[in-house]
């Protein structure tokens, strides 16, 4: 028996460990209410359309002029009375005037009375007969036969007149300025009085020069002496120029 129980124990598999049972977890009390609200807000065929669409009947095909707007029905005569006709025509009324015209005779008269067309001149420049119009080719001297050929254009003459007018105005202004700066001739009385004044200045300057000290040992004395000598030389030069020339001219300032 012991051996049999040992054999049975060797044949049976070892017992497996039982897995722990998981808890259901947290379940909200409002779960059913939320599901009801979600299903309530949904609508059928909102995006995909109905599951089955009714197929139109073959008898209801599109007919001609079926979609054109239809006019309102005419008003029937009330109580068998006709509506009064308008005695005065409307403002938009335009009477149709039909004039019978004989276009054949009119066209014939236009051809008879019309001026015949002038023949067009061509120029042939090859053996094969290639031709082109002669007038726009440049071989016809039509430009030299114009009325204004060789005539100075108006804008050129106008520009030349403006330039000439400006030159005359400039010359007049120059002459006026020269007249203002023209030399004036001294009269004999003015010349004599000027000469006397220069001689008097020379005498005073000469007296000042004679009074200078003999010894010029400082820089100031040397400069003063040179200044007086220069003044004397200038006065002598002016006196000599007035006495030498008979006519004296001075510039107008």
Q: For residue 138, give Cα distances in angstroms to 121, 146, 151.
A: 13, 15, 21
Task: Please check whether residue 212 is in contact with residue 232, taking contact to mean a CB–CB distance below 8 angstroms.
Answer: no
CA-based angle 190:192:197, to the nearest 5? 95
Taking only the tens place, the pLDDT of each residue in 35-93 is 888 888 777 666 676 677 788 899 989 899 888 998 888 776 555 666 666 678 888 88
Position 230 scores a pLDDT of 92
Confidence of residue 164 (pLDDT cuts 50, 70, 90): very high
Count the alpha carbons within 13 Å of 5 in the hemisphere toward its beta carbon. 2
Place of tokens 């403002």: 91
User: Which residues lie below 8 Å from residue 195, measured CB to CB, with a gap of 6+?
Assistant: 239, 242, 243
Task: Please check whether residue 185 is in contact with residue 249, taking contact to mean a CB–CB distance below 8 angstroms.
Answer: yes
Average pLDDT over residues 181-185: 75
Average pLDDT over residues 233-243: 88
Position 81 scores a pLDDT of 64
Tell me the whole-structure pTM to 2 decimals: 0.31
Q: Which is it for the CA torsion 229, 232, 233, 234, positive or negative?
A: positive
Count of other CB atoms within 10 angstroms of residue 17? 6
183 or 173: which carries more pLDDT confidence?
Answer: 173
Instruction: Give one word for 86, left, alpha or beta, with left for phi > 0 and alpha for psi -120 to 50.
Output: beta
Taking only the tens place, the pLDDT of each residue in 196-227 is 998 999 999 888 888 888 887 888 888 988 99
Position 1 scores a pLDDT of 47
Count the alpha carbons within 13 Å of 52 in the hemisphere toward its beta carbon. 1
Taking only the tens place, the pLDDT of each residue in 91-132 is 888 888 888 888 999 999 999 999 888 888 888 888 888 888
Round the average pLDDT of the chain to a whole number and report it: 82
């Amino acid at each position: 028996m012991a051996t049999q129980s040992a054999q049975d124990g060797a044949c049976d598999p070892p017992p497996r460990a039982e897995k722990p049972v998981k808890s259901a977890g947290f379940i909200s009390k409002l779960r059913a209410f939320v599901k009801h609200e979600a299903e309530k807000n949904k609508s059928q065929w909102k995006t995909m359309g109905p599951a089955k669409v009714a197929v139109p009947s073959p008898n209801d095909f599109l007919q001609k002029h079926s979609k054109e707007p239809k006019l309102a029905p005419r008003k029937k005569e009330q109580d068998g009375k006709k509506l009064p006709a308008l005695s005065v025509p409307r403002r938009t009324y335009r009477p149709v005037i039909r004039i019978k015209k004989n276009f054949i005779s009119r066209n014939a008269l236009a051809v008879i009375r019309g001026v015949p067309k002038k023949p067009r001149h061509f120029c042939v420049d090859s053996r094969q007969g290639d031709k082109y119009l002669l007038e726009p080719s440049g071989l016809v001297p039509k430009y030299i036969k114009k009325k204004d050929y060789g005539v100075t254009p108006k804008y050129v003459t106008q520009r030349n007149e403006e330039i000439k007018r400006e030159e005359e105005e400039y010359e007049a202004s120059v002459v006026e300025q020269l007249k203002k700066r023209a030399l004036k001739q001294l009269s004999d009385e003015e010349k004599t009085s000027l000469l006397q004044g220069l001689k008097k200045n020379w005498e005073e300057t000469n007296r000042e020069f004679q009074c200078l000290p003999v010894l010029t040992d400082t820089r100031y004395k040397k400069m003063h002496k040179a200044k007086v000598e220069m003044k004397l030389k200038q006065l002598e030069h002016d006196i000599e120029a007035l006495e030498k020339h008979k006519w004296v001219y001075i510039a107008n300032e």
